């Protein structure tokens, strides 16, 4: 059984054009989050907290996963791709060698609740062409639990008790597992995925027997992860992945393996060599990024 080894509180901050978020990231957390780099949560029904959105900005060297719980977000990129994701939808974008994009709220009032997760890439993949995949809520694998809760599996292969579930994405080199677990009051669930890979649990509503709202638990290796909801129930993200044993050098929106590569990214951006504007961004499967 996996054991909790560290508890981290999400920190209130802002990003983009003044968007208020709670964030789990930073140099001190890199080893624990590996292969993930950052987990951001937006959760507000005050438009002033989110209306500025995230105007056009660059990325290189990693993947961004946007998962919406409530509200709508519009994505645009430099190659003309555009789309809106709403409650329960996911956008999985591979920045690779470079992408310029914006993410703007598609609403002026009401609740906006969602997550953006940064997933690192190994050096062999960092300079591959950009790619993306939109996943509609209807495509996400769901499994009801006997106590009234449910598991929604976005990516990876997971056993929930005696039931084996698979996400819609083919396997990626970092072996990511991403699921949304909702438990009724006092309900328990046992999850199994690759024993040697990481296990992260972030409570976004309610509490578990070990974690409060906006806390992340970092768990040991092991065959099973047992989660138990508190008296008001619990809703949480569960993440896992294969650690990347390479140097991590992050500077703003770029994540590479050396400072020289970061400097090259800035030069490419300034000299209009950051992205291949003549090619449309392809879906992940078309680029061979799903290994």
pLDDT tens, position by position, 238-280: 999 999 999 999 998 999 999 999 999 999 998 888 875 434 4
Q: What percent of the chain has pLDDT over 90?
A: 85
For residue 270, count CB atoms less than 10 angstroms from its CB and return exposed for 0-12, middle for 13-18, buried for 19 or more. exposed
The pLDDT assigned to 276 comes to 56
Which pLDDT score is estimated for 278?
A: 37
What confidence tens digit (pLDDT) does each residue in 185-216 have?
999 999 999 999 999 999 999 999 999 999 99
Among candidate residues 131, 133, 57, 95, the one with its CA nearest the CA of residue 281: 131
What is the dihedral sign for C-alpha 271, 273, 278, 280? negative
- Looking at the DSSP assignment, which residues form a beta bridge with residue 226? 190
Q: 103-159 pLDDT, tens per residue?
A: 999 999 999 999 999 999 999 999 999 988 899 999 999 999 999 999 999 999 999
* Chain centroid to CA 38: 8
Beta bridge partners of 234: 183, 206
Domains delineated in the chain:
4-240 (2.60.120.10)
- In whole angstroms, give the CA distance from residue 18 to residue 224: 40
What pLDDT is recorded for position 48? 97
Residue 84 has pLDDT above 90, yes or no: yes
Position 290 confidence tier, pLDDT thresholds 50, 70, 90: very low
**Cross-strand pairs, 59:** 99
């Amino acid at each position: 059984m996996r054991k909790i080894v560290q508890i981290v509180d999400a920190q209130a901050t802002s990003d983009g054009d003044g968007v208020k978020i709670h964030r789990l990231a930073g140099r001190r957390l890199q080893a624990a989050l590996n292969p993930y780099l950052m987990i951001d949560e937006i959760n507000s029904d005050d438009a002033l907290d989110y209306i500025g959105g995230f105007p056009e900005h660059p990325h290189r060297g990693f993947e961004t996963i946007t998962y919406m719980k409530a509200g709508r977000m519009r994505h645009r990129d430099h190659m003309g791709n555009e789309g809106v994701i709403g409650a329960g939808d996911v956008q999985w974008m591979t920045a690779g060698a470079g992408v310029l994009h914006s993410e703007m709220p598609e609403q002026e009032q009401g609740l906006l609740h969602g997550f953006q997760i940064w997933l690192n890439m190994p050096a062999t993949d960092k300079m591959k062409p950009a790619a993306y995949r939109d996943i509609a809520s209807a495509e996400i694998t769901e499994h009801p639990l006997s106590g009234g809760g449910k598991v929604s599996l976005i990516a990876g292969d997971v056993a929930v008790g005696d039931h084996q579930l698979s996400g819609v994405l083919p396997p990626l080199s970092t072996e990511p597992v991403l699921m949304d677990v909702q438990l009724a009051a006092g309900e328990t669930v046992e999850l199994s995925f690759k024993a040697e890979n990481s296990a992260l649990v972030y409570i976004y509503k309610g509490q578990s027997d070990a974690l409060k709202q906006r806390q992340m638990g970092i768990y040991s290796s092991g065959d099973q992860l047992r989660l138990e909801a508190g008296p008001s129930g619990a809703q949480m993200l569960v993440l896992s992945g294969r650690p990347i044993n390479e140097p991590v050098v992050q500077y703003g929106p770029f994540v590479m393996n050396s400072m020289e590569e970061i400097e090259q990214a800035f030069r490419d951006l300034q000299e209009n060599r950051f992205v291949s504007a003549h090619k449309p961004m392809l879906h992940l499967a078309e680029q061979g990024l799903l290994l």
